[in-house]
Amino acid sequence: MRVGLLPTEGGGTYRFAILFLATIGILISSLPVIVVTIMSFSASEYSSFPPTEFSFRWYLEVVQLFTNEDPSSAQSVVDSTLTSLLVAFLVMVISTLVCIPLAYALARSNRNLREGMELLFTLPLVFPLVMLGIAFLLIAESLQLELGIWRIAIPHIALVLPFVLRNCLSAMNGISVEIEEAAISLGASPPRAIWDVVVPLMKAGILAGLIFALIISFNEFTVTFFMYTIDVSTLPIWMYSRTVSSLDPATLALSVFIIVVDVFLVVLVDKLIAGRGNLF
């Protein structure tokens, strides 16, 4: 494999530096989650880290939340979860479907156009989310639109486009025109050449894009906060009312539960798209 990037043997300072920095990166990413996961198994309500006794009691509480739902609350956790899943699915599929042809077109067209478009599609990332949330709400209200679930899905699609496009583009970069030309010279129509040759080669980038879209939409809070209604609400909104009130171990257990759901979704998408554990 790519021996040159990370030498398997020898490599001296280079290998050491790469591994050292990667370890720091992993620690920064995962330490808070590890701590929170450990705390969620704490037996007592007030305890310092690390806890001295462990139990599953907070997880039982989470299970109860899902089973004995209080019907008087507008935001039933089950409904919110389903809405979140549906929105995330729509956002994932739509954003990826629109980004694949765009990434292809950008990679195959001239540089100026490409840079301009990349910038345009980075914009959703640059906007402060609070401002965006309120702008979307003001527009939706002034147009008097009855959008249902799309109230949330449309802004989400805009938010994930930069991520999906970047990932598709970076995958497109490595695919040379010759491969396509070869397919065409063998008798494939240009669209077929794209679909049968280029898209499979982009798979890694597409997959990364899909996963980003899924995760970002499923966990988006700020814009959703402005757009949700009493009838269409998502899991992060529901979760918010819990975390604001207290960071008790049940909340932590619920967070761990949400992580598990996310990981499950990520692995599922990976399995479905990539086939036999090919990537990610």
Partner 1 sequence: MTFKLTRRGILKASAATAATLAMPSIVTAAGKNDFSGKEIRLLTWSDNTGLAILENIAKPFEEMTGAKVIADRTGSTSEMVAKLRASGGKAQYDVITLAGVGAVELAGDGLLAKPDLNMLPNLEKVDPRFRSGAEGHGIGYLLWTGGMVYNTKTFKEPPKSYAEMWDAAHAGRLFLPPATWTDALDTIFATGKMIGGDGTNSEAAFAKLAELRSSILTFGENPGQISELFRSDALDIGGVYAPAFFAKELANPAESNMGATYDLDEGFFADLMYTIVPKSKPGDDDVVHAFINYTLDDKVQGVMAEAVLNGPINQQAVMSEAAKASPFIIKPEQLSEKAVVHDKAFIADVREKWIATYQQTLS
Partner 2 sequence: MSTEFLPRKQALLFAAPAFIAILPFLGACFYILRFSLSGEQGTIEGLSFQAYRDLMTPFFGRSVWLTLKLAFVATVIVMVLAVPLAFVLTSLRSSFFRRLLTISILLPLILNLLVQAYGWILLLGPSGVLNSSLKALGIIERPLFLLFNETGVLLGLVQTSLPLAVFPIVGAVRAISPEYLEAASSLGAGHWRTFKDVTVPLLRPGLVGAASIVFAFNASAFAIPLLLGGRRVQMMGLVIRDMISPLFNWSGAAAAGMILIVLTLFVLVASSWLVRLTTTAKETH
Residues 195-254 that bind partner 2 (CB under 8 A): 204-205, 208, 211-212, 215-216, 219, 222, 236, 239, 243-244, 247, 251-252
Using the rule CB under 8 A, which residue among 110, 144, 146, 186 binds partner 2? 110
- Are 57 and 248 contacting, i.e. CB atoms less than 8 angstroms apart? no
For the bound state, the minimum distance from the C-beta of residue 203 to partner 1, rounded and expressed in Å, comes to 40
Q: What does 105 interact with, of partner 1, partner 2, none (CB < 5 to 8 A by kind)?
A: partner 2
The answer to the question of residue 167 lying near partner 2 (CB under 8 A) is: yes
For the bound state, the minimum distance from the C-beta of residue 65 to partner 2, rounded and expressed in Å, comes to 15
Which span sits near partner 2 by CB under 8 A: 57-65, 70-78, 82-90, 118-126?
Answer: 118-126
- Are 59 and 40 contacting, i.e. CB atoms less than 8 angstroms apart? yes
Using the rule CB under 8 A, which residue among 63, 74, 138, 268 binds partner 2? 138
Size of the site for partner 2 (CB under 8 A): 119
The answer to the question of residue 154 lying near partner 2 (CB under 8 A) is: yes
DSSP E strands, 102-152 = none
- Joined together, the tokens standing for residue 193 give 């050449």
- Joined together, the tokens standing for residue 231 give 């009838």
Q: What does 170 interact with, of partner 2, partner 1, none (CB < 5 to 8 A by kind)?
A: partner 2
CA distances from 192 to 109, 189, 203 (A): 19, 5, 16
In the range 66-95, which residues lie near partner 2 by CB under 8 A? 94-95
> Within a 13 Å sphere around the CA of 4, how many CA atoms are in the beta-carbon half?
0
Name the residue type at position 174.
Answer: G
Residue closer to partner 2, measured from CB, 70 or 178 = 178
Q: Which residues are CB-neighbours of 154 under 8 A, at least 6 positions away? A: 136, 147
Residue numbers at the binding site for partner 1 (CB under 8 A):
45-46, 48, 70, 72-75, 134, 137-138, 141-142, 144, 225-226, 228-230, 233, 237, 240-241, 243-247
What SS3 state is found at 104? helix
Q: What does 112 interact with, of partner 1, partner 2, none (CB < 5 to 8 A by kind)?
A: none
For the bound state, the minimum distance from the C-beta of residue 169 to partner 2, rounded and expressed in Å, comes to 7
The answer to the question of residue 269 lying near partner 2 (CB under 8 A) is: no
Q: What does 53 interact with, of partner 1, partner 2, none (CB < 5 to 8 A by kind)?
A: none
Q: Of 206, 194, 198, 170, which is closest to residue 95 (Cα–Cα)?
A: 206
Q: Of 31, 51, 29, which is closest to residue 39 (Cα–Cα)?
A: 51
Residue closer to partner 1, measured from CB, 65 or 266 = 65
CA distances from 279 to 89, 163, 266, 276 (A): 20, 18, 12, 8
- Are 179 and 201 contacting, i.e. CB atoms less than 8 angstroms apart? yes
Handedness of CA 11, 14, 17, 22 (dihedral sign): negative
Other Cβ atoms less than 10 A from the Cβ of 62: the count is 21
Using the rule CB under 8 A, which residue among 9, 13, 46, 186 binds partner 2? 13
Name the residue type at position 131.
Answer: M
Using the rule CB under 8 A, which residue among 46, 53, 141, 277 binds partner 2? 277
For the bound state, the minimum distance from the C-beta of residue 59 to partner 2, rounded and expressed in Å, comes to 15
